[in-house]
Amino acid sequence: MQYYSELVLPRIIELACGSKRLVDWRKLATDQLFGRVAEIGFGSGANFGLYPSSVSKVIAVEPSRVAMRIFDKKMARQNIQSEVDIVRLRASAIALPLKDASFDCVLLSFVLCSVGDSATAMAEIKRILAPNGKVVFVEHGLAPTLGVQKVQFAFNRTEQRVAGGCQLVLDAKLIISNAGFEVSVIKTGYGPGPRPWGYMTVGVGVLS
Ligand SMILES: C[S@@+](CC[C@H](N)C(=O)[O-])C[C@H]1O[C@@H](n2cnc3c(N)ncnc32)[C@H](O)[C@@H]1O
């Protein structure tokens, strides 16, 4: 199982999350970013290339060494030079080795579902955000349609087992609001792929 989660899963995530059909959803979130950004659960860098010019620095926080290696290989293969100053940090959202109030924005993309203790992760995010900082998110989660919800609850446990703890039934807006942020939703709806995996919310949270 360790072999699967450490070596195989990051490659599956790269295929699933790297889909070009997600780019428009991602851009709705990344367009909100500015200044110093901490991207939590950077994965293999699916948002890389979508940061606007208003971003001055990105700290890419990711616990998986393999995901980071996939990112490095992609960069080398495509001979991409980053226009943004990007620093990688192997760490978990629930214990961020980052200074208090040191970021203008935190980006969460398809990661709240996997962090496990989302309340602790949100407390950490709150700690590292500067006053007037924003948490920007694009997340999949609990669908509003009853039939889809039934499938989500039915598959939730299996999903957690095969997809690194990923939950299908979380409500990102609620998790972020419960952490003390005032959340503005930019867009919700079904994205590409099967509906139980594809109900998306894009939004921005500011400290209230
Ligand atoms: C579904 S992937 C999304 C990757 C990327 N953010 C994207 O948009 O494609 C979830 C990522 O969150 C990472 N992750 C899981 N638990 C985490 C934690 N506690 N802290 C930070 N990242 C975590 C995983 O290693 C994985 O790379």
> Does ligand 1 have an atom closer than 6 angstroms to the CB of 91?
no
Domain count along the chain: 1
How many angstroms separate the CA atoms of 101 and 126, rounded?
8
The b-or-e profile of 91-113 (16+ CB within 10 A means b, else e) is: bbbbebebeeeebbbbbbbbbbb
Which CATH number belongs to the domain containing residue 102 in this structure?
3.40.50.150
User: Going edge to edge, which strands form the sheet with 103-109?
Assistant: 85-89, 55-61, 35-40, 103-109, 129-140, 199-207, 181-190
pTM assigned to the model: 0.95
CB contact at 8 A, 40 and 111: yes
Q: What is the pLDDT of residue 80?
A: 67
CB contact at 8 A, 172 and 187: no
Q: What is the pLDDT of residue 43?
A: 94
Q: Which domain holds residue 7?
A: 2-207
The list of the chain residues with pLDDT below 70 reads 1, 79-82
Probe target for ligand 1 pocket from 111, 200, 201, with the most ligand atoms within 8 Å of CB? 111
> Does ligand 1 have an atom closer than 6 angstroms to the CB of 199?
no
Nearest-atom number in ligand 1 for the CA of 94 is 19
Q: What is the pLDDT of residue 13?
A: 78
Strands 129-140 and 85-89: unpaired
